[in-house]
Amino acid sequence: MTTWITICETCKRDDWAARGDEKTDGEVLAAEIEARAEKAGVATRRVACTMGCERACNVIVQGAGKIGYSLGKFDGTAEDAEAIVAYAAQHAAAPTGQVPFREWPQGVKGHFVSRHLPLPEPSDGDT
């Protein structure tokens, strides 16, 4: 099953306007992640908002039938992208999506916002 990195491309860190950047911090992070993701065997998609504006830049790592995770407070750097993609590759390799803390890339530690449990499988009687 594919692990996806969903990237908020509209994320702007607090100092974005003062920096006068043309691209949002989310767009910069998305490009950095996309440049690495295919080689790592994970898919990406951009979305307009993940509703985590107070902790931009935000991503979600998820896969069907697996625990998913929201992460935020990234700067949008190449190093951030490298750590996010490395973690997503670990998520892809883990049957449940859980990766032991000691194996997390240093660059994602302290960035986890929430955990999303997989949806329950329908029982035989459900329609």
* Side chain identity, residue 18: A
Please return the burial class of 43, using the count of CB atoms within 10 Å of its CB with bins 0-12, 13-18 and 19+: middle
**What are the sequence ranges of the domains in the chain?**
3-116
Give the ranges where 1-127 is alpha helix by DSSP (H).
16-19, 25-40, 78-93
Contact between 85 and 42 under an 8 Å Cβ cutoff? The reply is yes
Quote the pTM value: 0.93
**pLDDT tens over the chain, length 127 residues:** 799 999 999 999 999 999 999 999 999 999 999 999 999 999 999 999 999 989 989 999 999 999 999 999 999 999 999 999 999 999 999 999 999 999 999 999 999 999 999 988 887 556 5
Task: State residue 55 phi and psi, 5-degree precision.
Answer: -135, 40
The token pair that represents 5 in the structure block: 């990195």
Annotation: CATH topology of 3-116: Glutaredoxin (3.40.30)
Which pLDDT value is given to residue 120?
87
